[in-house]
Amino acid sequence: MSLKNKVSWQSPSNIALVKYWGKKAGQIPANASISFTLDNCHTRTTVEWEPIEADGAPFHFEIFVDDEPSPEFRPKIETFFQRTADLLPFLPSTKMIIRTSNSFPHSSGIASSASGLSALALCMGDIALQHGALDENNFNRFCSILSRLGSGSASRSVYGGLVVWGQHAEVPGSSDSFAVEYPHHVEHVFTTYRDTVLLVEVGQKSVSSTKGHGLMVGHEYAEARFEQAKANMSEIQKHLQTGDLNGFGELVEAEALSLHAMMMTSRPGYMLFRPNTIAILEKIRNYRETEKVPVHFTLDAGANVHLLYPAHVEQKVHTFVEQELKQFCKDGRYIHDRVGSGPKRL
């Protein structure tokens, strides 16, 4: 079956450098965050749609993942439509078939919510445009708001390069409601940065990010963490401006470890590292020291490791990954990625 109209978007994943961890009601972040938008790790989503007579139901959709009917994804999408109902007034009188697939292997442990929810948000923004409900000039902002309501970090995926979400005094135009392209000067080296994702653990995360954010409510160190993130948002801008790779890398590693420290010191506490995560972190630090190569790690809220490095050391780092890190990856799997230019209408 196919419906009369169709919109398609490809939207990338992103990796936070200063992390968002903790939120207030309405998907408002407790602190500002900044990320690199990725390139190879992306979701492609097509929404076929046509107008129908409203029958009192808030929405009508079917979902296919990799061409298979996937009712297990319905709850997440229903939550998204419930939260965005005011912004998408045509939903009750629109029938939709959503088809989606990820470029990265199924259940590779890569956070697919940023690319998945932003790809869906961009499709919905496109349908809003076609209804005349939206001005083309506001498209990206509108889609960032929609994405945020699906998954906070997804708000950053609607732009390429470096992206800030959350109000910060030193980032003009920044907002808690939507993400913005980082507005200041960035040394060229950071515009082509590389990210190799080392897949230590595949499958479902042991703690969902929703639960993780919730654990920050009443956390003993929460206020200190939010202050730290705010200070790191100021500091990282200096490194981006001067091209200080070591300053940048040290800060990014500290952010990743701070995120995990918050999880460990929650009640209950969670250990998201696996033994192989630690083995990789030690290898990276050791390699950096001995080879004098500017390679640093960051982590999402799981066991996988993102290896960040400038383009000019790519060959060396690829050899390092093959020879020393691959052995700690699940089935030897990793993905070479890089800073990307943002979503594409297909």
Which residues are at the interface with ligand PMV (CB under 6 A)?
Answer: 16, 19-21, 33, 111, 113, 151-153, 209, 259, 300-301
> Alpha-carbon distance 223 to 307, whole Å?
29
> Alpha-carbon distance 64 to 3, whole Å?
14
> Alpha-carbon distance 148 to 169, whole Å?
21
> Alpha-carbon distance 17 to 158, whole Å?
17
Nearer of residues 153 and 304 to ligand PMV, judged by Cβ: 153
Please report how close the Cβ of residue 240 comes to ligand PMV at its closest, in angstroms.
17
CA distance readout (Å), 139 to 129, 130, 143: 8, 12, 6
Please report how close the Cβ of residue 114 comes to ligand PMV at its closest, in angstroms.
6
Please report how close the Cβ of residue 304 comes to ligand PMV at its closest, in angstroms.
11
Closest CA to 68 of 112, 103, 99: 99
Please report how close the Cβ of residue 150 comes to ligand PMV at its closest, in angstroms.
9
Burial of 83 from C-beta contacts in 10 A (0-12 / 13-18 / 19+)? middle
Please report how close the Cβ of residue 111 comes to ligand PMV at its closest, in angstroms.
6
233 in Cβ contact with 171 (< 8 Å): yes
Please report how close the Cβ of residue 144 comes to ligand PMV at its closest, in angstroms.
13
Please report how close the Cβ of residue 319 comes to ligand PMV at its closest, in angstroms.
29
Closest CA to 41 of 143, 116, 99: 116
Nearer of residues 301 and 317 to ligand PMV, judged by Cβ: 301
Nearer of residues 6 and 83 to ligand PMV, judged by Cβ: 83
Nearer of residues 29 and 249 to ligand PMV, judged by Cβ: 29
Nearer of residues 151 and 175 to ligand PMV, judged by Cβ: 151
> Alpha-carbon distance 33 to 163, whole Å?
8
Please report how close the Cβ of residue 116 comes to ligand PMV at its closest, in angstroms.
11
Nearer of residues 7 and 335 to ligand PMV, judged by Cβ: 335
Nearer of residues 43 and 153 to ligand PMV, judged by Cβ: 153
> Alpha-carbon distance 37 to 283, whole Å?
26
14 in Cβ contact with 157 (< 8 Å): yes
Neighbours of 192 (CB within 10 A): 12
For 263, phi and psi rounded to 5 degrees?
-65, -40
Nearer of residues 27 and 276 to ligand PMV, judged by Cβ: 27
Per DSSP bridges, beta strands 60-65 and 68-69 are: antiparallel
> Alpha-carbon distance 40 to 117, whole Å?
17
